[in-house]
Structure 1
Amino acid sequence: MPVKSILIVFASMQLAVLLSFLDQTIVSTALPNISAAFNAGRSSSFVAAAYLLTSSAVQPVWGRLSDVFGRKITLLSCVAIFLVGSLACALAQSMLQLIIFRGLQGVGGGGLLTLVLIIVSDIVSLKDRGKYQGLTEATILVGNGAGPILGGVMAQKLTWNWCFWINLPIGGVAMAVILFFLPLKAVRGSMRQKLLQIDYGGALLSSFATVLVILPLNWGGVSFPWVSGPVLGCLISGIVGYGVFVVYEWRVAKIPIVPPFIFKNQTVSAVFASTFLNGATILTQVYYLPQFFQVVRGDSPIRSGVLILPQLTMTTFAVFVSGQLVARTGEYKPMICVGYALWAIGLGLLSTLDETSSVARIVGYQILNGAGQGGTLQTSMVAAQAAVARSEMSVVTSVRNFMRSLGGTVFLVIAATILNNTLRSKLSPLGFEQDLISAVIDDPTGIWRSSSKEGTTLLNLPQEEKDQIISAYVNGFHTLFHVLAGLISGAFVIAVVLIKRHSLSRKDEEALKQKGQEWVQRQKEKKKKAGNGADDDAEKGTAAKRPSVDGAKKTSL
């Protein structure tokens, strides 16, 4: 594709990715308003969980579907499903409806990032891919970071429905540009042949196993005790389901969604493992740094969103720089290792923040954290893609994204458990009643604003008790970020020991580039002929009756 066309298509795809990741976090600050609108506070957490659950479950499936039906059709299908889900969410009349429609949104949203990264892999050389994939990773961070801010603004200034209405015009523009500018490369085979290529068994097994693992993690400690039949039953069933999925893909599936042999590749397996830890840390940061600012410092949702901008800005810059370095040097492993090292140090420093920390410390630590984070995002994708054949890039890309999404979804629940258990262990010995501790857990920002939970008005607590709650929350935050620093240290070890160097130059790239240019030129010529279709038809209709073009002109006159 010409550079101009690549940039136009790429920009439209970034809009789609932005919407997908905005939707992961946009409801986080609007949940109190949504809960009040439907009078259903206890089930409000499933509004966020439903999206994460379905988007995680379908990611491996979308990658394979794009191999069968083509990238353009599959991407447009993802955008369409996402927009239909957004419209349904905006019109929801009950909490149950909203949760169901959020799940529908997630089905479309889960394929957007996977398809965009696969398409970038198709149209950009492996060496230059880091620059474009880096910008996509930056878009993800902006979406995750801006989500809470936009959600807070819309909940305060408009209504919660606007968290979903906003998707329609932006998504519509993205869909139109993709429709008209992204070339449609036909995939050979009849519809019946294509349908027979789909790994239905693998798709169902992977989706159900993912749901059965994530659902009880959201139930535990909220809807049911952790040690209860529904939680343990689903969790064990999900783990068994993954085992059955592996056996099915290995022994039964003709064209498996996740070919087992890709895990024999050391670099690919290392990227998958480190990406799981990467996703766990990123999403936890996005959710809990703003919450720390609101609870410990008393900042508003909007201000807390502004306070994480230094990290997002630095991460975006680091992603861009690392992409340029990969393109120029052909080396990705040094950036990955240095990135994880800086990130682990940054998380360690963030774990020292408390209610007395200055804004300068908050900003400085986030800049270091962002620099490390940005160095690992697109470089790990390049490492995985460089380690496999071109025909397996879509599978590797979709599984890598699935691992990141799964890591984030699973660890968000673990993070909540760490914080909640720390709060209980710190406040119970001080004589706090269990109802009050539950009120703090349900609404930690309630000590700063007028909010009532279980009949306890947190705003009216004595200052001494407020200080004790803040101190307990700071302890929980320290523990959580120590764990995150440990996860990223583990990712650093994996990267150093297991990720190997592979060449970013491929013998067939120039030939494929030439074929692509010829294909685009043929499409342009077809469009020109189509534009003159009426004249051509007239020519064909009279050609048999006239000996020459001159004769035709005379006749027509």
Structure 2
Amino acid sequence: MEKITQRKMVTVAMMVSIMLVALDTTIVTTSMPHIVKQLSGLKLISWVFAIYLLTTSVTTPIYGKLADLFGRKPVFIFGVALFVVGSMVSGMAQTMHQLIWFRAFQGLGAGAVMPLTFTIIGDLYSGEERAKMQGLFSSVWGVAGLLGPLVGGLFVDQISWRWIFYINVPIGIVAILLVLAFLHETQVRKAEKSIDYWGATLFTLSMGSLLYALLNGGEVYAWNSPVIISLFVAAAVSLILFLYVEAKAKDPMLPLSLFKIPVIAVSNAVGFMASFVLIGVNVYLPIWIQTLLGHSATSSGLTLMPMSFAWPLASTLAGRYMYKIGSKTTALFGAVLIAAGSAWLLLVHPNSPYWYLVGVMIVIGFGMGCSMTPLTVLIQSAVGWDLRGVVTASNTFTRSLGQTVGIAVFGTVFNSTMNSYVQNHVPGVWQSENISNALASGASANIPANVLEQLQNGMAQSLHSIFILVFAISIVTLLISAVLPSHSKVMEQQKAD
């Protein structure tokens, strides 16, 4: 009875942890236009998301490996503590550049929360129970998705945007206390513990160089400038060295042998591409709603809310029925819905009815729920306890990396398209960044009507370019999902190994 109680309380702790990260994600996306208004820096908006996703991405596999070496509990508590501190200082930011740096620190902690939460759940539950728990945890994400935009909108409209970060502090403390009290690990750990410092360093250099080049190319520096070329070369060289180190390391940060297992390789590829779609919709649709439709932050949050209902509902149904209809069929159906929702997004224009936006979010959200749940269960079924942390982290990492690269690519496309349009259609006196900031934040009362119309047209064209790219990526996601191995093949492979 005591073990059952402990398992329930640890499960509650993990649900609180998911709530922590999910709230932060949904609150920040709907609040950014207002933050831009106060801190300025429309061109830096991508960095607020990208730097957080970058530090989350590069630390995720490291945390996963540390959890396999030293246990889940200490690594998890350390990560949540970093996240809480990062949230506090993000709320204190006085400039856009400060916010970017503090978000980087916050991401250092977030890298532990998602992978270790699902790793711990994978330790506590097995088989069909694990699939059902995925659905339950997606429901928690849905609740956070419901509360996040509402709470964020209310903070922005009624109190201060700073509270979108401060709200993380009490939630994080509750998660830490529950884990300290109820998580008791008994699994025997490896006697020899070695950390792959070189692998972690090279990977960070590679991803950091790549993201910096993508976010600054064509904006701060020309694409053919020595700086951008050097960054791409540094990214490629560091990646090659990382792969070499991982192949030779005694205890690699990210065992390359895992990617020889078809279900892990395909699942991670699907997660990577689907995350492109997710970040594109979550970041740029609020800008469309608040800038072109003139809605408040609260109203923008309400528009994104349908995804928060559809995703957990689909995830719950997928977890319940994937063993009956097949995990591959479930995931493939989800990919079809993601592509369908992305196609619908192409039809959105400034005069589109409100229900268009609601419909897009429902379809994409339902597709994400059907797709992501089977993928997580499949990869955890493919390995044992000693690799479950790192393989779960690899899946979380590829999803986070997909969002990181996605926001960098989308930011580059958006800024390039907007700059080109403004230079060709807007009078020179109105071409400053402050005018674009005012438009993005809704503070456009002093802009002449003809200039405002051109700026809005440019914003619509730039956002539509993002939506086209989102649709193209959703098709790639669907094609990759089609080659996902079935659950029976995964279990046969595990028995053979």
Tell whether the structures are fold-level matches, with TM greater than 0.5.
yes
Bigger drift between 139-148 and 49-58 goes to 139-148
Separation (CA, whole Å) in 2 of partners of 1:416 and 1:42: 8
* TM-fit CA distance, 1:294: 1.2
The aligned counterpart of 2:395 is 400
The aligned counterpart of 1:16 is 17
The aligned counterpart of 2:467 is 481
Contact 2:135 2:315 in 1 (8 A): yes
SS, match of residue 127 in structure 1 = helix
Pairing partner for 1:248 from 224, 245, 250: 245
SS, match of residue 243 in structure 1 = helix
Separation (CA, whole Å) in 1 of partners of 2:186 and 2:368: 36
* TM-fit CA distance, 1:431: 5.2
The aligned counterpart of 1:258 is 254
Matches of residues 19-30 of structure 1 in structure 2 within 5 Å? 19-24=20-25, 26-28=27-29, 30=31
* TM-fit CA distance, 1:389: 4.3
Distance 1:344 1:442, change over 3 A: same
The aligned counterpart of 2:303 is 307
SS, match of residue 488 in structure 2 = coil
Pairing partner for 1:466 from 424, 428, 452: 452
Separation (CA, whole Å) in 1 of partners of 2:10 and 2:492: 24
Pairing partner for 2:405 from 385, 401, 410: 410
Matches of residues 84-163 of structure 1 in structure 2 within 5 Å? 84-91=85-92, 98-140=99-141, 143=144, 147=148, 149-163=150-164
Contact 1:127 1:505 in 2 (8 A): no
Q: Verify: 1:325 aligned to 2:321, yes or no.
A: yes
Distance 1:430 1:36, change over 3 A: closer
Between 1 and 2, higher relative CO (CA 8 Å, sep ≥ 6) is seen in 2
Distance 1:156 1:363, change over 3 A: closer
The aligned counterpart of 1:273 is 269
The aligned counterpart of 1:496 is 482
The aligned counterpart of 1:167 is 168
Separation (CA, whole Å) in 2 of partners of 1:469 and 1:182: 54
The aligned counterpart of 1:368 is 363
Pairing partner for 1:205 from 176, 181, 202: 202
Number of aligned residue pairs: give it: 494
- Structure 1 residue identity aligned to 2:344: L
Bigger drift between 282-291 and 213-222 goes to 213-222
Distance 1:356 1:102, change over 3 A: closer
What is the CA RMSD across the aligned residues, in angstroms? Answer: 3.1
Distance 1:501 1:32, change over 3 A: closer
The aligned counterpart of 2:232 is 235
- Structure 1 residue identity aligned to 2:239: Y
The aligned counterpart of 1:220 is 217
The aligned counterpart of 1:73 is 74
* TM-fit CA distance, 1:292: 1.2
Q: Verify: 1:383 aligned to 2:378, yes or no.
A: yes
SS, match of residue 460 in structure 1 = coil
- Structure 2 residue identity aligned to 1:16: S
* TM-fit CA distance, 1:189: 6.2
Contact 1:87 1:165 in 2 (8 A): yes
Contact 2:280 2:467 in 1 (8 A): no
Contact 1:28 1:151 in 2 (8 A): no
Contact 1:85 1:104 in 2 (8 A): yes
- Structure 1 residue identity aligned to 2:20: L
Q: Deviations over 1:61-119 (max 9, x none)?
A: 00010011111121111112222323343455666654443322211111100101111
Separation (CA, whole Å) in 1 of partners of 2:399 and 2:317: 22
SS, match of residue 155 in structure 1 = helix
Contact 2:157 2:297 in 1 (8 A): no
Q: Work out the percentage of aligned pairs sharing the same amino acid.
A: 30
Distance 1:25 1:32, change over 3 A: same
Q: Verify: 1:344 aligned to 2:339, yes or no.
A: yes
Separation (CA, whole Å) in 2 of partners of 1:151 and 1:209: 34
SS, match of residue 128 in structure 2 = coil
The unaligned stretches of length 5 or more in structure 1 are: 451-457, 510-557
SS, match of residue 351 in structure 2 = coil
Distance 1:278 1:17, change over 3 A: same
Separation (CA, whole Å) in 2 of partners of 1:342 and 1:379: 15
Distance 1:152 1:96, change over 3 A: same
The unaligned stretches of length 5 or more in structure 2 are: none
Separation (CA, whole Å) in 2 of partners of 1:101 and 1:424: 28
Distance 1:471 1:91, change over 3 A: closer
Separation (CA, whole Å) in 1 of partners of 2:421 and 2:37: 30
* TM-fit CA distance, 1:139: 4.0
SS, match of residue 252 in structure 2 = coil
Bigger drift between 381-390 and 423-432 goes to 423-432
Contact 1:350 1:366 in 2 (8 A): no
Distance 1:6 1:136, change over 3 A: same
Separation (CA, whole Å) in 2 of partners of 1:273 and 1:497: 11
Contact 2:145 2:305 in 1 (8 A): no
